[in-house]
């Protein structure tokens, strides 16, 4: 769908759900033990996925932002299966899936079709990108230009020609060269002519030549090479649980099937404006009473309170992000969203916020890296830092800061049998005790966090 005259969608409609992917099985016994403990820590849903080879060296990359754990924080990780997207595209390129609205004749169905393909591939619905009812038909799910801008954040965008469009890429079309994207399609591979072939809606196309008959000499073409792994922000799990919503409201039980998608649609179209409680964690009526001065830019009525809550809870100051390398067994900790994003894209599992660190203090936590083992170590002890540096470790500076002893303890464990990932750090006492009971050495409190802001 093309929307040359519309602005970006009003925030009042930017809510969504995320599918919760899971971590893959680990080969090493020690890593398996750690993964089991981490399941309790993250409380994430588990669906086994095949992991690529992962570089064990952590490196900061782009400044794009990313996600949190599946237990209800600010975002989740995802893995795309573009073969599923292509299978979906082949099935519905020449027709329409009755589960979705068809916008043919109302601006076009191209971005709606590509979005459905991406959803089939496993890209999680989120605060900007989700299917809406007809009165909410704005945003990157439906409009080609917004779709291009949105997915540019989840891959590499560049000018397209027949040499750089690959199977599973998204292709975008500026028919007149005026700088506005008018159309989008999914590359499904090569056609009989050896050129990239695409599936598309409006006009319907199945394995058609990628140029789709463009004749205007000013036309411009773009391609997005999608990251197959990454993270997406603001899951609706912050404010919505389908089972809770169904059980709480009798009228919903009478009018809506006990189906996640159907219940989500009901919540988005009716529950938000009516101030219905979508999960056990967030009551909009209580939030309204305790936050009387919420900015109306989020929308009128109860809707604005959901958005304000999501905004405030999504990225608490001092969040320490925890990631896991399934190939080396290393856990890695960082306050950098960019570093988190880069590692998730490279195949690390994002496990959520490990603890909250103070913005500053007189107790820095030093970060070192062993390039031979591909392992990181963290300590507040300058003597330990200097000892490791003299032994060949690289000093990478201050990673974050520790609170004083009145704060939240972060425990350190040591695996004497591991070549990499030999230390684990957690604010979860149960995880500490579990590892200690399974062969790890509990080394006590390494530093202190602070209570996360509400």
Domain that includes residue 323, residue range: 27-68+235-239+281-454
Q: Does residue 31 sit in the same domain as residue 172?
A: no
Beta strands in 125-182 (DSSP E): 155-159, 170-174
Q: Can you tell me the distance from the alpha carbon of 416 to that of 446, in angstroms, rounded to the nearest whole number? A: 18
Smallest CA-to-CA distance from 325 within 298, 343, 305 is with 343
Q: Does residue 52 sit in the same domain as residue 184?
A: no
CATH assignment at residue 144: 3.90.1720.10
In a domain, 402, yes or no: yes
**pLDDT score for 267:** 87
Note if the bond before 203 is cis, omega within 30 degrees.
Answer: yes
In contact, 119 and 82? CB cutoff 8 Å: no
Q: How many folded domains does the chain comprise?
A: 2
In a domain, 260, yes or no: no
In contact, 145 and 2? CB cutoff 8 Å: yes
- Collapsed DSSP state (helix, strand, coil) of residue 11: helix
Q: Does residue 299 sit in the same domain as residue 215?
A: no
In contact, 314 and 234? CB cutoff 8 Å: yes
Q: Does residue 298 sit in the same domain as residue 446?
A: yes
**pLDDT score for 235:** 62
| Burial of 417 from C-beta contacts in 10 A (0-12 / 13-18 / 19+) | exposed
Smallest CA-to-CA distance from 106 within 147, 138, 145 is with 138
Q: Does residue 392 sit in the same domain as residue 332?
A: yes
Q: What is the mean pLDDT of each run of 10 residues along the chain (454 residues)?
A: 40 26 29 34 27 27 29 63 97 92 90 95 78 55 89 88 96 94 97 96 95 94 90 71 93 90 82 89 86 65 75 63 88 86 83 84 90 89 93 90 90 87 89 92 93 51
Q: Checking phi first, is residue 150 left (phi over 0); if not, alpha (psi -120 to 50) or beta?
A: alpha
**pLDDT score for 47:** 23
**pLDDT score for 166:** 95
In a domain, 34, yes or no: yes
In a domain, 249, yes or no: no
């Amino acid at each position: 769908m093309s929307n040359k005259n519309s602005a970006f969608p009003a925030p009042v409609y930017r809510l969504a759900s995320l599918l919760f992917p899971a971590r893959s099985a680990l080969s090493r016994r020690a890593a398996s033990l750690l993964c089991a403990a981490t399941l309790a820590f993250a409380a994430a849903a588990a669906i086994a996925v095949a992991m690529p080879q992962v570089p064990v060296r952590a490196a900061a990359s782009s400044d794009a932002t990313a996600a949190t754990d599946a237990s209800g924080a600010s975002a989740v990780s995802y893995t795309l299966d573009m073969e599923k997207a292509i299978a979906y595209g082949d099935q519905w390129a020449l027709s329409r899936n009755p589960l979705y609205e068809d916008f043919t004749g109302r601006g076009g169905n191209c971005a709606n079709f590509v979005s459905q393909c991406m959803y089939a591939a496993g890209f999680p619905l989120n605060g900007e990108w989700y299917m809406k009812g007809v009165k909410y038909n704005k945003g990157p799910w439906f409009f080609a230009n917004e779709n291009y801008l949105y997915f540019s954040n989840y891959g590499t965008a560049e000018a397209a020609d027949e040499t750089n469009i690959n199977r599973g890429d998204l292709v975008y079309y500026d028919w007149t060269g005026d700088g506005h994207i008018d159309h989008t399609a999914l590359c499904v591979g090569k056609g009989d002519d050896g050129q990239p072939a695409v599936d598309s809606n409006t006009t319907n196309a199945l394995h058609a030549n990628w140029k789709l008959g463009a004749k205007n000499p000013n036309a411009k073409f773009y391609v997005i090479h999608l990251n197959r792994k990454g993270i997406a922000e603001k899951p609706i799990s912050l404010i919505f649980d389908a089972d809770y919503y169904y059980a709480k409201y009798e009228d919903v039980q009478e009018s809506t099937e006990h189906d996640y998608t159907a219940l989500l649609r009901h919540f988005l179209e009716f529950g938000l404006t009516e101030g219905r409680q979508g999960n056990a964690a967030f009551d909009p009526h209580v939030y309204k009473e305790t936050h009387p001065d919420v900015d109306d830019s989020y929308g009128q009525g109860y809707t604005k309170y959901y958005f304000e809550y999501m905004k405030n809870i999504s990225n608490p100051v001092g969040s320490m992000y925890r990631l896991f390398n399934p190939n080396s067994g290393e856990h890695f900790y960082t306050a950098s969203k960019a570093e988190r994003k880069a590692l998730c894209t490279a195949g690390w599992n994002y496990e959520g916020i490990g603890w909250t660190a103070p913005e500053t203090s007189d107790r820095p936590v030093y970060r070192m890296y062993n390039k031979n083992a591909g392992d990181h170590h963290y300590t507040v002890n300058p003597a330990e830092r200097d000892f490791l540096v003299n032994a060949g470790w690289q000093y990478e500076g201050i990673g974050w800061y520790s609170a004083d002893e009145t704060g939240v303890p972060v425990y350190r464990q040591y695996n004497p049998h591991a070549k990499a990932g030999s230390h684990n750090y957690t604010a979860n006492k149960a995880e500490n005790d579990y590892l200690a009971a399974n062969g790890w050495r509990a080394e006590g409190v390494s530093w202190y966090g602070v209570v996360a802001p509400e």
